[in-house]
Structure 1
């Protein structure tokens, strides 16, 4: 098999560049947590306006994921990454210089559109150039970059707040005084412009997706890229021929392809696991972790510290997942991880309901919380973008990923809005029992309906759905 001579260093470089979109995604999503109190005070926000400030980027993400597939098919994966980098850059600068609350909302929506676009295109680009035996590891770099972006936002918020309370008061320039001392939230939101501009520049160094090139009749260019990946002219020709053989009847991107029974089934499965994954608690934990910790009796300062520990566990576990996803397999990781999630979600629920009566210490809840994050990060968080990027036919991969991505972002928005209500009305214990229950249909769908894609070429996976 020619894959044994693969230029992994080159593919790794291309994957890391594309995964930088995930870092911007993670940073732009998490940075909001350090600015809510400041924005609320400065603009005298009520609870509805505060919720709109937090949720407006998710609305932008829904818009971005809805058009991301079309842009990826129409202009190519690389050019669409350029578009997302421009959106991130504009959003960062606009947030930093916004003159009122409405302008800040517009800026956040622009950044949200970039998040939605990159959440589709980055993992898809990596999947389309990766070789089968390393594809899970390489696509997982995107999720790793997202978790690093989350952690990066927490660290930047912490450092800038300390700077604002200390040395920043000595800055002489009026504009710098405003950004880093008087209204430090501007600096927190604006810092993301630095990696966004770097992302824009470095995209010039990567080629277009070779599979997109083949689908658009540019096989010679695709062959030259595959030659650099495989190190052999014959292997490159064979790869192009394999793509052409599978997609010969699907030269044009067409909504009608979704009507094919196998393809339609794949799209429905992808959408189902995308939205179900959001109701298993992961984003509720990431967004409302401090609130949940405080409701367990942990003080506010400690709750923020524990949230940083949650972020660290998330990153370190994702690093582990990157190295084992191709060895253990997608489905086995889901079975192991989701089983663990159910156990620890139930234990957290038990703590909230009966912990005081049984004399359980808060350390018990913290350990269960971190164990849950570990199980989640090593399974559904690592696997979801890998599966969505590889389970659809070449001709409609971008379109199908947009549908699944739209499902995921709708779920994210809903859980962001519903979690406070659930915590109040079901109690924290009841909320965690609900999250545990939602894990069951997820595991059943993966068990019964999702094929094991580990080690298979994208064309082999496509044949599975079509035949």
Structure 2
């Protein structure tokens, strides 16, 4: 079958959808370079500062709730267009906003875009992919997220450097955005990839599986012919999907309550929310603060954080290459085991490192090792699993439920990490993260089937036959 697959076309479709992941990563990470400037300009107190950081997460939760319904009703492609419009509106609005309230509103709009794209991009890639390449193609989305993180760090650094070299700014709009109030430029630069995403979406087709679900078999067949080249194979795939849909005559919500599918939804919710309490977002969001707690200067902390972002990106590339060869579950076994070890080592360093005079370079090594283990396992696997676990008819809705759990976890960890660092100490915080890895690995071991190399229809039959 490999010789009849148009892999170049598949990669193109996946890269276009994955661009939404880049916007996700950029919009999430860019905030880190603007907090101090926005706080000073608008005279924010601690609560207002927390609201500025967290308001986009609230938007993400809203976006996740609507993403599945929109994609199931109007299609995967139109929903991606909506997310591109939201990102563009947010970026332009943040750059030109008149006051803090407007800034928050536009950040919430961008957060809604994040929530929508976090569901729809991996879902679309999963539905257009073929079984033997699906893992690495969906992983392109996670790779794009990490590149977005790195891109935001680099843009923030370059724009700040540019602003600092222009000590006599003018009064026009350009100097306001890129010199006097450079945070506007940091947030506004997202306009470029957002507009590109909006334009390029129109060059990809609708998901063939969604078209089959809506009874548009001819359109679906024509798209599948471009993917499989063989008309016979395209027809087989249409019939394969339709054979599963014959068992899905019930409404979406009643279908979710069927024993096997309900089990899949609950498992998806568990791995989505548990993954947030294993430390990854705490490291990505609060890395500089954590490094400063270890006695490093602000400059060294920022440099260490850039290294964390670089390792995260490069490791995701490796995960993309091996995920369909090693398998989803094995990556989780190896990676999460490594996370437990490195989290314990980080906790031990915070307990004894300073008193024993141990160099901070060991803390950096432990952190980078943790990021490697995390990026090659749960970060690479979670969106792949969530995008392929559910039946076609309820895939968008079920992913929204799991995505809602994921974003609730992200919001909670964002709010709780400063409290935990202060009250549990850094050592206690990282020991807690290590403990939370245990139920995750047990759930994947006992309850999640190995989906590597299986078609979406085969995976669907596993859950619908499971009681």
Normalising to structure 1: TM-score of the pair?
Answer: 0.98
| Residue 73 (1) aligns with residue 66 (2) | no
Counterpart Cα distance in 2 of 1:456 and 1:138: 14
Deviation at 1:167, TM superposition (A): 3.8
1:383 aligned partner: 381
1:224 aligned partner: 222
Which range is displaced more, 266-275 or 293-302? 293-302
| 1:328-367: CA deviation from partner (whole Å, max 9, x where unpaired) | 0000000000000000000000011112333321111110
Contact in 2 for aligned 1:253/1:396 (Cα 8 Å): no
Contact in 2 for aligned 1:81/1:118 (Cα 8 Å): yes
Counterpart Cα distance in 1 of 2:251 and 2:192: 36
| Residue 96 (1) aligns with residue 95 (2) | yes
| Residue 54 (1) aligns with residue 53 (2) | yes
Query: Matched residue of 1:431: which SS?
Result: helix
| Residue 259 (1) aligns with residue 257 (2) | yes
Query: Matched residue of 2:450: which SS?
Result: coil
2:308 aligned partner: 310
5 Å matches for 1:21-170?
21-167=20-166, 169=168
1:214 aligned partner: 212
2:19 aligned partner: 20
2:427 aligned partner: 429
| 1:362-404: CA deviation from partner (whole Å, max 9, x where unpaired) | 1111100100000000000000000000011111000000000
Counterpart Cα distance in 2 of 1:22 and 1:176: 28
| 1:169-214: CA deviation from partner (whole Å, max 9, x where unpaired) | 45x5611111111111111100001110010000010000000000
2:368 to 367, 370, 374: 370
| Residue 407 (1) aligns with residue 387 (2) | no
5 Å matches for 1:230-379?
230-250=228-248, 254-379=252-377
1:396 to 394, 397, 403: 394
Deviation at 1:300, TM superposition (A): 1.0
C-alpha distance 208-168 of structure 1, shift in aligned 2 (>3 A): farther
Counterpart Cα distance in 2 of 1:12 and 1:356: 49
C-alpha distance 436-19 of structure 1, shift in aligned 2 (>3 A): same
Counterpart Cα distance in 2 of 1:445 and 1:234: 39
| Residue 420 (1) aligns with residue 418 (2) | yes
Counterpart Cα distance in 2 of 1:89 and 1:325: 33
C-alpha distance 252-230 of structure 1, shift in aligned 2 (>3 A): farther
Counterpart Cα distance in 1 of 2:198 and 2:106: 18
Counterpart Cα distance in 2 of 1:405 and 1:76: 18
Counterpart Cα distance in 1 of 2:194 and 2:421: 36
Contact in 2 for aligned 1:6/1:230 (Cα 8 Å): yes
Deviation at 1:3, TM superposition (A): 4.5
Counterpart Cα distance in 2 of 1:50 and 1:222: 48
1:205 aligned partner: 203
| 1:206-239: CA deviation from partner (whole Å, max 9, x where unpaired) | 0000000000000110000000100011110000
Counterpart Cα distance in 1 of 2:3 and 2:288: 47
Counterpart Cα distance in 2 of 1:358 and 1:274: 38
Counterpart Cα distance in 1 of 2:64 and 2:431: 31
Deviation at 1:90, TM superposition (A): 0.4
Deviation at 1:23, TM superposition (A): 0.2
Normalising to structure 2: TM-score of the pair?
Answer: 0.98
Contact in 2 for aligned 1:3/1:131 (Cα 8 Å): no
Contact in 2 for aligned 1:282/1:373 (Cα 8 Å): yes
Query: Matched residue of 1:207: which SS?
Result: coil
Counterpart Cα distance in 2 of 1:21 and 1:177: 29
Contact in 2 for aligned 1:253/1:395 (Cα 8 Å): no
Deviation at 1:163, TM superposition (A): 0.7
Deviation at 1:4, TM superposition (A): 3.9
Deviation at 1:168, TM superposition (A): 7.6
Counterpart Cα distance in 2 of 1:153 and 1:30: 6
Counterpart Cα distance in 2 of 1:322 and 1:251: 36
Contact in 2 for aligned 1:269/1:449 (Cα 8 Å): yes
Counterpart Cα distance in 1 of 2:118 and 2:3: 30
Counterpart Cα distance in 2 of 1:261 and 1:360: 53
Contact in 2 for aligned 1:276/1:438 (Cα 8 Å): yes
